[in-house]
A = this chain, B = another copy of it.
């Protein structure tokens, strides 16, 4: 069955947090989903040969390169999957697209609007040659989120009136958590804003089917100096005695307006003690509401205001039924999915689009818009929170 399918060679750059999550996706997607192409874990790229080789063995990649430029030129590579910090995205993505490789780049797409624009220009040009590109806003692929999008698109909550969204973590709340690239503006572009705020911007736009038209923002850095990391892996590190500056925001708070004019309220923080990965979004429409919290990721709450008052109430939908997005491929009802499944679904959607010769979503244009929102928030924050329109 699977052997007859054309192969899709993947080169993955970076092999830490996202590298492991993407590897899990490439390894398993075709085991559960019927795909038009069969992904091959062709080459893993890392700068240190020894560590990269160890990672390749551990994660199941066939070969290793230490220079991403070599990887993107390989004939057996069809897709370049960029899992490195934001400062590297533009250069790698543009080169890969120009080399005729499809690109999946992690979010946020880039560190600046200028980079994102250059990437989008390259993507448009490549698309004309049948070369596709996509940004890794994985949380769109959580079944409950996709169900939310579907219900809104079908008019099940009427016209969108208000959105509230929060992304709350607490891994930086301890002032002794050491520095890492995420706290360095050069590497990360911004702090909570781009790292997690970008997700709730994307989710809002995805679920409502609208774009943010303007924002009013406020940025805060609570801890301005931290231990320099002796080692760091994932979100956890060990600090030494030396201290260095934090050059990004610790929390971003912003108001926004959707293209329809509907107001939205956002907050992204890595300082909310007790909230580990609480991605919450609630949309109120003229005839109902939907609400989601990633801390209970297999559940969507849906309120249908057209129901009789006697029994109206938020439906706690356990999004594990065969009729729910992506679920049929997995387990029986009630046997919930976990974090990594979003990455599997991302691979599935990408491979299906490639098989069909179509542009996957979110596109680089979508990613560019998120980048512009991030930029507008920073500009607003620098100007007394004045409402700032998002340009094209």
A residues contacting B by CB (< 8 A) are 1-3, 17, 20-21, 23-24, 27-28, 31-32, 54, 57-60, 147, 151, 156-157, 161-162, 164, 166, 169-171, 173-175, 216-218, 220, 222, 234-236, 251, 253-255, 257, 263-265, 267, 269, 271-278, 282, 284-289, 291, 294-297, 301-305, 308-318, 320-324, 331-341, 384-387
Contact = CB atoms under 8 A, between A and B. Distances in A.
Contact of A336 (B161, B257, B322, B339): B339
- Pick from A17, A320, A384 the residue with the most CB of B within 10 Å: A384
Contacts of A278: 334
Given A236-B332, A314-B316, A384-B387, 11 more contacts: A1-B57, A23-B31, A27-B27, A164-B267, A169-B334, A218-B255, A276-B333, A277-B336, A278-B334, A314-B315, A385-B386
Given A2-B58, A255-B255, A274-B313, A340 B332 contact: no
Contacts of A23: 31
B314 A310 contact: no
Contacts of A340: 331, 338
A276 B318 contact: yes
Nearest to A278: B334
Contact of A265 (B161, B222, B267): B267
15 contacts: A3-B57, A17-B331, A24-B31, A31-B60, A161-B222, A251-B263, A253-B255, A274-B288, A275-B334, A313-B318, A315-B316, A331-B339, A331-B340, A338-B339, A384-B386
